Every structure is written in structure tokens, then in C-alpha cells.
Structure 1
Amino acid sequence: MNDQPRLPYAEALASARRTFTTEIAALQALQERLGEPFALAVDRLLACKGRVIVSGLGKSGHIARKIAATLSSTGTPAFFMHGAEAIHGDLGMITPQDIVIAISYSGSAPELLTVLGVVKRMGASLIAMTGNPESDLARNADLHLDCAVEREACPLNLAPTASTTATLVLGDALAVACLEARRFNSDDFARSHPGGALGRRLLTLVRDVMRQGDALPLVHADMPIPEALAQMSSKGMGMTIVVTPDKRPVGIFTDGDLRRLILREGDIRFLDVATGMTPNPRTIAADALAVEAAALMDTHKLNQLLVVDESGLLTGALHMHDLLAAKVI
């Protein structure tokens, strides 16, 4: 006999909707009572000469860790400090120039109250985020942000659910307000996320992914097409670049050009590459963003793009596959 608990489909959806409704109501109530303490907290974070230390225990600790990560990635240097570890040595990481954000829904976590005392003696600022304005943590902090909720989404009104959501959103609101005040932009975000997709898109330059030197298929305009095809095949770019003796590109001869030339001329064995090349090929600078090259190639339906310097001399070439391999697109 299988005694594994099951919840009928309709009941599962009804439960989920109750959770959504409860947590949405908690956020709406929090939004409506936002006021001067929030604005003052943003001012303090913007004026901070040190770092922002976000601390908590249990579920509040998980929320604190995420808020610290969000602050750090949006222009406000921050790190997480576990409330229990703080009183066993980690308080040594705090300086008088720092701001501590202490998170405890009850406002009575003994570890954080110990932290409060040390922080106050040290001269650092303390912002408390609690659901109890009358708690010791709230009353003794420099600023208190009220994240109280009417009830938890948990039907027992015990498991932190709506309260943790409200606290997390309040932390996000602080981070975004600071981001906007600092005029933090997508380039700044990419610099703090160099390993992510956005970082690759916004930090990768054409020179980082282009082919150059012996990897380039180069021919002169008077080269017979069979020889040009050999060069094209050996370099695997689906094209060959037609250059002057000083390596100034005058054309490009692609697989598509080859097919069109055969249809037009039939026997191409005795023709030179200038007969079938596409003149005035599209180019880009090596210092341009790779994502710009991708956009140019997409706009003009190109698989290849030449890279030139300020004087128009060839320095490299890109194939769409190079951008795919670099995960720029």
C-alpha cells in the first residue's frame, strides 16, 4: 500500500494561489507604508565610505546573503556576515566606516543584539530590518525599516514565507534605489559579472575573438579562382579576402559568390577571383564590441566580417561561428 501523501490537482493550485495572494498583499502593504526611514537608509548607503555588511540568522540569514549579493552586483560594495559567526570573530571585519544591515523578523535574535552593541561602540552605522518596531534591535538601531506582514503564507502562520519575501523585496528596493542614484549602467553591471552572459556580451571586443595572421585566407585580385578556392578551403572561413599588396581589403569571395559565378559563367577554371568577388566588403574596428559585430552581420545577412585599422588595413576577420563559440550570441 502506497501511503505517500498526495494533493489533488485542484487543491494544489488553490494552495499556490493562496500563497501568492498572501504574499502579494504583504508586498502591497509594505509598499504603502514606505516613508522617510527608507529614504534615509538610501542616503546612508550612498554616503558610506566603507562597505555594507548584511547579517542575519536562519531564514533571515539566507535573505541577508541574497541582499548582500544584489548590493554588490549593482554598485554598492557589500558582503554577508552570519550572525552566529559574527560573535566568534567575524566582527573583526567591520570598520567604523561601514554600515551594518541587521535582519531579524522578531528583532530579538540574541546574536544580532550582541552585534548591535559592538557596532554601536565601534561607531559604525546600523540599519535594522525587522517586523517588530518595538524590539530591542529596532529601537537601538540608527534606522529601522519595518518589514512586518499581517500573516505568513504558511497556514500555520509559522514558517517564514510572506515575511521573508517582504524583507527580500525591501532589500532589492534599497539596491535599486542606490543603483539609480549612482547611474549604474549595463557596462558597470557587466564589469561585476564578467563570467556571465551579459559580461561576455558587453566586455568582449572584436579583437578578442577575431582570426588573424596565418589564420586569414588571403588572395590577390588576379589569382585564378582554383587557387583562391584552395586558400578558402584550407582556412575554413567559407570565404577568402581579396587584398592589395599592402593588405588593404578590396573584396571578399564567398561560397555564395562561387555559386553565383558558376551559374553565370559556367566554366570558371580560367577566371581570376576579381571576376566573382563582392567589392567593398563590410568592415569593423578591432576595438568595437563583439556584440556590435554580431548586430552588423545580422543586419546585412553576413556570415563573415573583416576587421580593419584606422587606415583601412586588414587586421583580422570574423566568422559568425567565432561569435557563437565565444557565446557572444
Structure 2
Amino acid sequence: MPEILSFFAVYLTVFIFGMTVMRLGMEMLAKDKIKKILLRLTSSPFMGVVAGTLLTGILQSSSAVMVITIGLVATGLLTFPRSLGIILGANIGTTFTTEIITFDISNGVIPLLVGGAFFILLRKQVFFNIGCMMFGLGSIFVAMAGFEQLASSIEKLTLVTSVFNYANELHYVGIGIGTVVTAVIQSSTATTGIIMSFLKQNSLSVDAGIAIMLGSNIGTCITAFIASIGTKKEAKLVAYAHIWLNLLGVIIFYPFISSLGNLAEYLTAIPDVQLAHASLLFNVICTVVALPFIHLFSKFIIKLHGANDKNLSPF
């Protein structure tokens, strides 16, 4: 058991390292354009969604976009109501990575790593950035292959077997698992990637995988909440809104987990792709439902968490 857990920790570290390096390359390519895009494309909630989706797709991290958004609100460059569209878009953009890691590029992993390392060693900044993106993506696929190899061994552990049995029978257990694991490792994508490995081994049902994925949407809010500590009231509202939007989305979707699973199974027969599609569908549907009520939601958050601050405007 210690050996299995050690390997699991190593692969998890490689996965998060890959995400960080790939995000670094993409972020450095975009440079100051990221903040400019957020400021320019938030004139309406819909444009905020577009900006949040695009930038999260670029940075491969909804948490990074949330931290940037909180920073902009804290400095007064962006108002709280205009940040709500970004939050919804970030939830959609983070699903791009889960779709990417379902691709089978086993023959291309070594070229990605070698090519990435070569570009990193070059002096030109643009090559360095491209190298980071390639090496990071290669590392992610190495970690995914490792998770898949370990899945069959991990599922045989008594504790894991018991937890999986509960998760397969009770959806709220899966949501709890996803919430806790994501809060600890601070990456909903890593949580989803791990679950994909178990889905391939048929250790978990698609419904259980979806429940854990829903929980990861709650757990990922911890990063934005931590980033808001010590900031002004309006910046804290961004973190609160992130929590409420994700929490309400999970609560509303909870009775329809099986229906979402059936739809994912209709779209594809491949378990890990089913989970990736389910994640995308969940976040898109939540955004479409929430977008028309975004101003009412803004008032709700201000009333609940900022009622004593007369300087806060719901518009």
C-alpha cells in the first residue's frame, strides 16, 4: 500500500506540475493582454462569459482566472457585477482541459517532452513559452498514463473499494469526495483526470464519476476564497458569488445526475470521454440558465454578503 500511494503522489505531482508549466507558457504568451481582455470584454454579462471562457481556455485554470478577477476588483478596475460573467465563463473554459486529456496521443508524448525541453533551452522568449506548453502537456499525459496503470491496484484496497461502493450507490457521497479532494489538491481538472482513470477500469459508474465531478466544482472555489482574504468587500463578493454559483448549480443538477449520465453515454461509449462531455454540458447548461438572472443574482449576493456597505451597486 505505501508503494502504491507513493506512486500515486508522484503522478499527481507530475500532473499538477504539467498544468502549471503549460499555464506558464500560455500566460507568458498572452502577457498583459489577459487583464486588458477582461477589462474590455465585460461590458455585458454575455461578453464576460466569452472573456472568462477564452482566458480560462488559454490559462488552463479557472482558479488562475478567478484570482486575476479578484485582483482587478480589489484594485477598483473592475466592478463586482461585471465579474459574474467571467465566473460563468471560467467554469466553461476549465472543461477544455478535461476534453484534451481524453485524446489518445501515447505515440506523441515523447516528442512533446523532448521537443518541449529543446524549445525551453532556446533563448527566444516565444520558443521558451511554446516549449513550456509542449512539455507541460506531455507531463499531463504521462501522469494520466500513470493514473491508469495504478487504478487497478488502488481499487483493490479495502478502503478505496468501500468508498467506491458508497459512491456508486449514493450520489451525495461522490459529491463529497469531489469537494474534499479538489479542496486539498486545488485542481478540479486533476480530480477529474484521476476519476477518468477509474472509469476506464469500470471501478466507478458514470453517474458516480459525474457526482465526483460536480463536487470538484464546489471544491475548486477554495482557491478564489483564499485569494479574497484581506481584500476589500467588493473583491470578497466575487469569491462568495463563485461559491454560490457552483453550489446552486450542483444542487439544481443533483436530481438529474442519472439523466446527464444517460446523455453522456448517448454521445459516446468511451467512459472517460463521457465524463468530459458531462462536465462540459453541466457548465454550459448552468451558464445558460444563470445568465438571464445575473443582475438578480448580483443583488442577492450584495444583500447577503454586502448589505452593510452602501457603496456597493447591483449594476
Query: Which fold has the larger relative contact order, with Cα–Cα distance below 8 Å and residues 6 or more apart in sequence?
Result: 2
> If each structure's helix is expressed as a fraction of its own residues, which one has the higher value?
2
Normalising by structure 1, what TM-score? 0.25
Larger radius of gyration: 1
Q: TM-score if structure 2 supplies the norm length?
A: 0.26
